[in-house]
Chain A
Amino acid sequence: MKKKTVQSAFYISLIALIGIWSSCEKEEPIPTVELTAKVELTGVTTGSKVDELTIRVKSNQTGVTKEFTAEANGETTMTLEEGVYNFEATGKISYSYTDYEGEEQTKTESIAGLIENLSVSSSMTNKTVAIQTHITVNSSGWVIKEIYSASTKTSVGNKNYTHVQFVEIYNNSGEKMYADGLAIGETQVTSATVPNYYADDIANYTFVQTLYSIPGNGTNYPVDPGKSILIAPYPINHKVEFDPADNKLLDLSIADFQWYDEHSLALQVPEVPDLIKHYSYSSTIWILTTQTNRGLVLFKTDNIADYVTNNIDQRKNNAGKDAIAVRLDNAKVLDAVYLGHPEKIKVKTIAPSLDLGFTYCSETFNGKSVRRKVSHVESDGRVVYQDTNNSTVDFIPDAEPQPKQFKVD
């Protein structure tokens, strides 16, 4: 019997060993990728300083988020396993700008950027992940995208040609909005009116000398996200009608609305609906201030005709004479742009809460406009404009007029 026990023990241990052996699976090691994540800033002025830059990397498979802090140069290195991740960057940016009094001011804003579903693998050619960040937009709605008021000189005859002026309003949100009832107007005083006899009231009100509004019952004029409303006094193709060889003349026949003044100097283009002229200081035509030293506001209220009649303000101006303007409640101002030439600004005509800074065209009739900067482009291609309520930072002075074009420069 002795020989039989040893044999079965051997076979049992052999089976046990095989059993143990096979259960200890040897795991394959998962490849990792070393990459640099870099935060890139768009649409912010130079001389800015970023702070508290955090990059969160979330794995789409595991849902685990890892946080990294970027260095001062915006970069950080990380080692990630191959997979699909979302990269999100957040932080703070401090920048300085010159205010209307010529003083240096600093502002801090939040920035954010996101790259979704980025595939990380060893075969990546570019081991740097650039995360485009932008200042978080705090207005989600209508913004004034461009104002072309400086106008241009014609090539032939070098004449002042103000007929190419326009104002463009953009749907900066992600939803369809209706343009019915939007009103535009220019401030009564210029940036050079010293003292500004409305100064005590501008914290709560803006005083305008013109106010024109888009008609409609509320749903007549829909505007998709990423689209705009172009308003011009002469919505014709100026180049074709005036001088085909002059490239400074624009084709404004694409305008959506016309501000039309009944006067022998004006043209009524029936294809383009007219704005309602609620108030104007002039019984002739309204020409935007070519010196770019008045503010332009975008305003909306219910029953605007009655609002105008009930809010006519009369006070003494600096020459001791009566000045009349329409008083707009700042709470109903959707957007405002303060225009003033840097060397000539003496007063603020728009509340700082509406616009902290200013923008301008350096010369009259130089063929340039003021245009809002692009903050970023959404994944579906929709352009989002920057709006921190600070025109010094948000606008490009002396820009090329681009009606109905949303180029990322």
Chain B
Amino acid sequence: MKHLYLTYIVITIFVAISPLFAEESQKRSIKVSGNITDADTKNPLSFATIYIHETYNGSASDINGHYTILCEPGQSYRMTVSSLGYQNIDTLLLLQKNTKIDFSLHPRSFALSEVVVSAKENSRENSSSLIGKEALQHIQPSSLADVFQLLPGGLTKEMAMTTPQYMQLRQAGSDVNTSLGTSFMIDGMTLQNDAVQNVYGETTSPTVLYGVDLRSVATDRIESVEVIRGIPSVEYGNLTSGVVKVALKRGKTPLGGRVKSDLNNKLFAVGEGFLLPGNAGTLNIDLDYMHYKDDPRKELSSYKRFTTSGRYQNRFTIGEEISFKLDADLHYTGSFDKTKSDPDAMKGKDDYEYNDYNNVSFSTSGTLSMLQKILKELHYNLSVSYTSTLTERKQLITPGVMPLPSATEEGEYDAQYLPAQYSSLLKVDGKPFNLSAKIKAKGEATTGKIHHHITTGVEWQYNKNLGKGEIYDQQRPPYPATKSTRPRPYIDIPAVKNLGLFVEDRLRYNFGKSTLAATAGLRATPFMLPKEYALSGKWYIEPRINTKLDLPDFQLYGEKIGITLTAGAGRHYRFPTQAQLYPAPLYFDYIQLNYYTQNPDLRMLNVRTWIEDPTNYNLQPALNSKYEAGIQIKIGEMSLDLTLFNERLNNGFSSESAFVSHTYRKFDPTSVDPSTITQRPDLSNFTFIHDTISSLYSMAQNNSYVNKRGIEYTLYLGKVEALYTSIRLNGAYFLTDYKLNALRYFKPGVVINNRTYPYVGVYNYHNTENRTRAQFNTNLDFDTHIPKLRMIFTSSFQAVWFTKTREPWNNGLPVGYLDDTGQYYTFEADQANDPVMKHLTDTYLSKYFDPTVVPLAFNVYLKMSKEIGDFMQIGFYVNRIFNYQPGYKDKYGRTVSSQARRSSNGYPYFGAEISLKI
């Protein structure tokens, strides 16, 4: 039934697009063509890109630098010509007949007058930031995580590379749903980690998983990064927060390298782009190595990354109107920390730990462009990624003698006592594997005065883990004290599949001197799950729209003023990961008889094991509804971008407690006197009572709620020519609410008069999970660019005016409680004084609910990049060269000193790098 549905849809798409292969009824009659060359060497530039803003059409020059584009007479078009390593040319076309235009591009260098080292607001309808090559280089990044400081609301800080770095977007604080809900794409290939089961050798808890670890993405091969903060096109799915699109360098480049060193990091990168002989295209090869140490004295807290990549590109033309661009990429990322061993944790002579990570991915995409047809473009992308993670840990375990429950089935059984010390060997073999395929078609049509640019397509993703999972001797477990799961091969876990169908119309309507552009689209995804799940097969529809109104320019006091208004709304679904959909069964082991006599031959241990399935068969995707509106005002050279947004995440992924009640037989060890027996007694010799006990376990749920509201602003004040300095200001005010919309269960871990606490409290609030956070910051940057010295110097003054945190008030009392059998009782207010019930109350001083306000933190950062000769560029930066963080009184009236604040945010930090071009 499902397959029939799918086939029907695919056929419909093909039928719908076939007329697009027909010739356009109204041909664009003017042909513009020419040659693109290097201004210095006069050599042709192959595969240079030409982009027309009004028609959203792109083209590229062929191997000889020759290009052709079509346009209509009497229409004005904005055209951008760009090539890797060269300065862009922006031009305006208003033509009446076929014209030949040649472009001559200058290689990028600080000697040129126009260099942009900040994030630019993209010209599309949604709010997104574009970070170009120069901006990337100027911040001297070690990994992709460093890039986000350029976004409004971003703060410059060093990334601690020994722990995973997760994405934060448009928020004060962070949460897993934003990290999981951001889609990362590298040249059309989505980075997926939905089938990851273990991080650092431990199987992750069967609940919420984080998103992509930003440390693993090297930056030297990146040409540009676009961060879509607002509402992305329906072409991008399985996300809630935003999209990060990375474009890698393609094309001929000279041999270049970079060496960077700062207090914790050493980085080395080298790469070159070759023009293959015989018009066979271009091939870019690069590699990069980074070594990060938290503390130079400590060997073990370090992170080492090695990456290499080969990217092939070619472009074939069939006549002047049909061309086919082909890309094929092969990437490898590895971390080779083979001898990580913690001297304090392992004192056995043979102890060691070994962590191996290797990822290989292959991606190919092709675009067929047809200039004269209604169907303008056919595009495919196919990628496959395979990761092998292996952790091996040999450790001397000395628990002191303790019981070992080890059953894999339910029931009562005799068990063993563990020896007081033993060597355990743990291997964790994780092999996440993913496959994705995408086909899309673009066409154009005109209805009256409105130009339509339609894109439709289908995308399919497949995630599975091929690893063997945790492997160890069950009789000698590595973690004897906490054993609620048993080994489960990852390959046995079902795959996670996603299918997305999308259709989008990007339209333009010119009326008078104004232009209205809108992108409206729809994405549909069936939830591909086995029948047991409640929402199996349900379709989720995501409508999204972004609009932009360009008002006509007008003059005021001699300055040209332009105003643009934007608005958008959209729905976004993020589907659950493998670890959330198919968690491992949980084992509850209750020791029925613990008879550890002083005579080893008489010892007895009897255990009752229950198995629970923590799968949530009602698991839903997380839904984020985004609304935003913005205004952009240009006054002469100055520009102000202001965006207001409101995002509401419902059914966000959360991990919460579920209640379960078990019975077991509690045998009395004193009922058999060891001095009266000569051989191991039988279980029937002991007296017992039936006992019921309650427990809580974790289950994946959809109860997180996040509401992000705020204003992002970017103000460009123009250039003070005499000082060669341009001034810009950016920042944001974020107000973020985090809430868990569910009941909370809590069982006090106390024993009263020989009885474990008999109740589980049920609360309708979550302390520390529910909170509101706010942050307001401003970054003022002065970019001094002196072409004669070929140098850019940025001084950045960053002020976080305040950060505020507040927890909503609660009365500290439960709404009810459950006894050991699961019977529910309402909690009466007067029970709070009962000596046993007191343990369920958790009241706070009223001051606890006052907001915590941390006042101004002010820092100054300096960055410098300079070219030396033709071959070398050096960079240097100092963070927090000046730091002002006054002390303040917290909500309890206690003083937090300036010293305490400063030390928690670190002292000055600096680094330097050299880049070479041969």
Which of A's residues lie within 8 Å of B, judged by CB? 154, 156-159, 161-163, 234-238, 241-243, 253, 261-271, 273-274, 276-284, 305, 308-312, 314, 316, 320-322, 324
Q: Confirm or deny: B720 has a beta carbon within 8 angstroms of a beta carbon on chain A.
A: no
Q: Give the shortest distance, in Å, between A156 (CB) and chain B (any CB).
A: 7
Q: Which residue in B401, B750, B848 is a CB contact (below 8 Å) of A283?
A: B750
Q: Give the shortest distance, in Å, between B183 (CB) and chain A (any CB).
A: 40
Chain B minimum-CB-distance residue to A159: B398
How many Å lie between the Cα of A262 and that of B754 in the bound state?
9
Residues from chain A with Cβ under 8 Å of B669 in the complex:
268, 270
24 A/B residue pairs, CB under 8 Å, sorted by A: A154-B398, A154-B421, A156-B398, A157-B348, A157-B421, A159-B398, A236-B401, A237-B598, A238-B400, A242-B420, A261-B751, A267-B403, A267-B417, A269-B596, A269-B598, A277-B754, A279-B751, A282-B749, A283-B749, A284-B749, A320-B844, A322-B812, A322-B838, A324-B750
Residues from chain B with Cβ under 8 Å of A324 in the complex:
750, 838-839
Q: Confirm or deny: B847 has a beta carbon within 8 angstroms of a beta carbon on chain A.
A: yes
Q: Confirm or deny: B481 has a beta carbon within 8 angstroms of a beta carbon on chain A.
A: yes
How many Å lie between the Cα of A253 and that of B597 in the bound state?
10
Asked whether B838 lies within 8 Å of A312 as measured between CB atoms, the reply is yes
Asked whether A305 lies within 8 Å of B757 as measured between CB atoms, the reply is no
Chain A minimum-CB-distance residue to B839: A324
Which residues, 832 to 859 on B, are CB-close (under 8 Å) to A?
A: 835-836, 838-839, 841-845, 847-848
Q: Confirm or deny: B347 has a beta carbon within 8 angstroms of a beta carbon on chain A.
A: yes
Residues from chain B with Cβ under 8 Å of A263 in the complex:
591
- Having A235-B598, A237-B598, A270-B597, one finds 9 other A-B pairs with CB under 8 Å, namely A262-B591, A269-B598, A270-B596, A274-B670, A282-B750, A308-B753, A309-B753, A314-B838, A320-B892
Which residues, 570 to 624 on B, are CB-close (under 8 Å) to A?
A: 589, 591, 594-598
Q: Confirm or deny: B895 has a beta carbon within 8 angstroms of a beta carbon on chain A.
A: no
Q: Give the shortest distance, in Å, between B55 (CB) and chain A (any CB).
A: 63
Q: Confirm or deny: B318 has a beta carbon within 8 angstroms of a beta carbon on chain A.
A: no
Provide the B551-568 mask, 1 if CB < 8 A to any CB of A, else 0: 000000000000000000
How many Å lie between the Cα of A86 and that of B598 in the bound state?
51
How many Å lie between the Cα of A163 and that of B396 in the bound state?
17
Which residues, 354 to 402 on B, are CB-close (under 8 Å) to A?
A: 396, 398-402
Q: Which residue in A243, A273, A281, A320 is a CB contact (below 8 Å) of B749?
A: A281
Q: Give the shortest distance, in Å, between A360 (CB) and chain B (any CB).
A: 24
- Given A156-B421, A157-B421, A158-B347, are A278 and B848 neighbors across the interface (CB < 8 Å)? no
Asked whether A161 lies within 8 Å of B597 as measured between CB atoms, the reply is no
Residues from chain B with Cβ under 8 Å of A162 in the complex:
400
How many Å lie between the Cα of A309 and that of B420 in the bound state?
38
Q: Confirm or deny: B92 has a beta carbon within 8 angstroms of a beta carbon on chain A.
A: no
Q: Which residue in A157, A265, A281, A305 is a CB contact (below 8 Å) of B402?
A: A265
Which of B's residues lie within 8 Å of A, judged by CB? 347-348, 396, 398-403, 405, 417, 420-421, 481, 589, 591, 594-598, 669-670, 672-675, 749-754, 756-757, 812, 835-836, 838-839, 841-845, 847-848, 892
Q: Which residue in A235, A238, A270, A312 is a CB contact (below 8 Å) of B674?
A: A270
Q: Which residue in A241, A262, A305 is a CB contact (below 8 Å) of B420?
A: A241
Residues from chain A with Cβ under 8 Å of B400 in the complex:
161-163, 234, 238, 242
How many Å lie between the Cα of A284 and that of B206 in the bound state?
24
Residues from chain B with Cβ under 8 Å of A314 in the complex:
838, 841
Residues from chain A with Cβ under 8 Å of B481 in the complex:
264-265
How many Å lie between the Cα of A310 and that of B756 in the bound state?
18
Residues from chain B with Cβ under 8 Å of A261 in the complex:
751
Residues from chain B with Cβ under 8 Å of A235 in the complex:
598
Asked whether B396 lies within 8 Å of A157 as measured between CB atoms, the reply is yes
Residues from chain B with Cβ under 8 Å of A267 in the complex:
401-403, 417, 594, 596
The 9 closest A-B pairs by CB, nearest first: A268-B594, A312-B835, A267-B596, A242-B420, A158-B347, A159-B398, A283-B749, A163-B400, A280-B751
Asked whether A278 lies within 8 Å of B753 as measured between CB atoms, the reply is yes
Asked whether A321 lies within 8 Å of B836 as measured between CB atoms, the reply is no
How many Å lie between the Cα of A264 and that of B415 in the bound state?
12
How many Å lie between the Cα of A148 and that of B398 in the bound state?
20
Chain A minimum-CB-distance residue to B844: A320
Residues from chain A with Cβ under 8 Å of B892 in the complex:
320
Q: Give the shortest distance, in Å, between A140 (CB) and chain B (any CB).
A: 31
How many Å lie between the Cα of A159 and that of B843 in the bound state?
39
How many Å lie between the Cα of A211 and that of B483 in the bound state?
29
Q: Which residue in B399, B420, B595 is a CB contact (below 8 Å) of A243?
A: B420
Asked whether A321 lies within 8 Å of B749 as measured between CB atoms, the reply is no
- Given A267-B596, A270-B597, are A321 and B842 neighbors across the interface (CB < 8 Å)? yes
- Given A157-B347, A270-B669, A312-B835, are A264 and B403 neighbors across the interface (CB < 8 Å)? yes
Q: Which residue in B348, B396, B417, B842 is a CB contact (below 8 Å) of A322?
A: B842
**Which of the listed residues A235, A269, A273 has the most CB atoms from chain B within 10 Å of its own CB?**
A269
How many Å lie between the Cα of A4 and that of B602 in the bound state?
118
Residues from chain A with Cβ under 8 Å of B399 in the complex:
265
How many Å lie between the Cα of A234 and that of B400 in the bound state?
10
Residues from chain A with Cβ under 8 Å of B597 in the complex:
269-271
Q: Which residue in B396, B673, B754 is a CB contact (below 8 Å) of A276?
A: B754
Q: Which residue in B589, B751, B843 is a CB contact (below 8 Å) of A264?
A: B589
How many Å lie between the Cα of A274 and that of B596 in the bound state?
13
- Given A264-B402, A267-B402, are A282 and B751 neighbors across the interface (CB < 8 Å)? yes
Q: Give the shortest distance, in Å, between A324 (CB) and chain B (any CB).
A: 6
Asked whether A310 lies within 8 Å of B835 as measured between CB atoms, the reply is yes
Chain A minimum-CB-distance residue to B667: A268
Residues from chain A with Cβ under 8 Å of B753 in the complex:
276-279, 305, 308-309
Asked whether B750 lies within 8 Å of A278 as measured between CB atoms, the reply is no
How many Å lie between the Cα of A311 and that of B835 in the bound state?
8
How many Å lie between the Cα of A277 and that of B753 in the bound state?
6
Residues from chain B with Cβ under 8 Å of A268 in the complex:
594-596, 669
Q: Which residue in A154, A277, A311, A320 is a CB contact (below 8 Å) of B847?
A: A320
Q: Which residue in B401, B749, B845 is a CB contact (below 8 Å) of A241?
A: B401
How many Å lie between the Cα of A158 and that of B848 in the bound state?
43
Asked whether B672 lies within 8 Å of A270 as measured between CB atoms, the reply is yes
How many Å lie between the Cα of A375 and that of B180 in the bound state?
69
Q: Give the shortest distance, in Å, between A302 (CB) and chain B (any CB).
A: 15
Chain A minimum-CB-distance residue to B400: A163
Q: Give the shortest distance, in Å, between A30 (CB) and chain B (any CB).
A: 65
Residues from chain B with Cβ under 8 Å of A320 in the complex:
844-845, 847-848, 892
Chain A minimum-CB-distance residue to B417: A267
How many Å lie between the Cα of A299 and that of B403 in the bound state?
32
How many Å lie between the Cα of A156 and that of B351 in the bound state?
12
Residues from chain A with Cβ under 8 Å of B848 in the complex:
320
Q: Give the shortest distance, in Å, between A46 (CB) and chain B (any CB).
A: 39
Chain B minimum-CB-distance residue to A270: B669
Q: Give the shortest distance, in Å, between B419 (CB) and chain A (any CB).
A: 9
How many Å lie between the Cα of A284 and that of B748 in the bound state?
12
- Given A270-B674, A320-B847, are A280 and B838 neighbors across the interface (CB < 8 Å)? no
Asked whether A321 lies within 8 Å of B396 as measured between CB atoms, the reply is no
How many Å lie between the Cα of A284 and that of B747 in the bound state?
13
**Which of the listed residues B399, B405, B754, B844 has the most CB atoms from chain A within 10 Å of its own CB?**
B754
Residues from chain A with Cβ under 8 Å of B402 in the complex:
264-267
How many Å lie between the Cα of A282 and that of B749 in the bound state?
5
Asked whether A266 lies within 8 Å of B594 as measured between CB atoms, the reply is yes
How many Å lie between the Cα of A278 and that of B481 in the bound state?
25
- Given A268-B669, A270-B673, are A253 and B598 neighbors across the interface (CB < 8 Å)? yes
Chain A minimum-CB-distance residue to B671: A270
Chain B minimum-CB-distance residue to A309: B835
Chain A minimum-CB-distance residue to B832: A314
Q: Which residue in B417, B589, B591, B750 is a CB contact (below 8 Å) of A280?
A: B750
Q: Which residue in B672, B675, B750, B754 is a CB contact (below 8 Å) of A281?
A: B750
Asked whether B750 lies within 8 Å of A270 as measured between CB atoms, the reply is no
**Which of the listed residues A263, A270, A273, A324 has the most CB atoms from chain B within 10 Å of its own CB?**
A270
Q: Give the shortest distance, in Å, between B685 (CB) and chain A (any CB).
A: 12
Residues from chain B with Cβ under 8 Å of A321 in the complex:
842, 844
Residues from chain A with Cβ under 8 Å of B591 in the complex:
262-264
Q: Give the shortest distance, in Å, between A194 (CB) and chain B (any CB).
A: 12
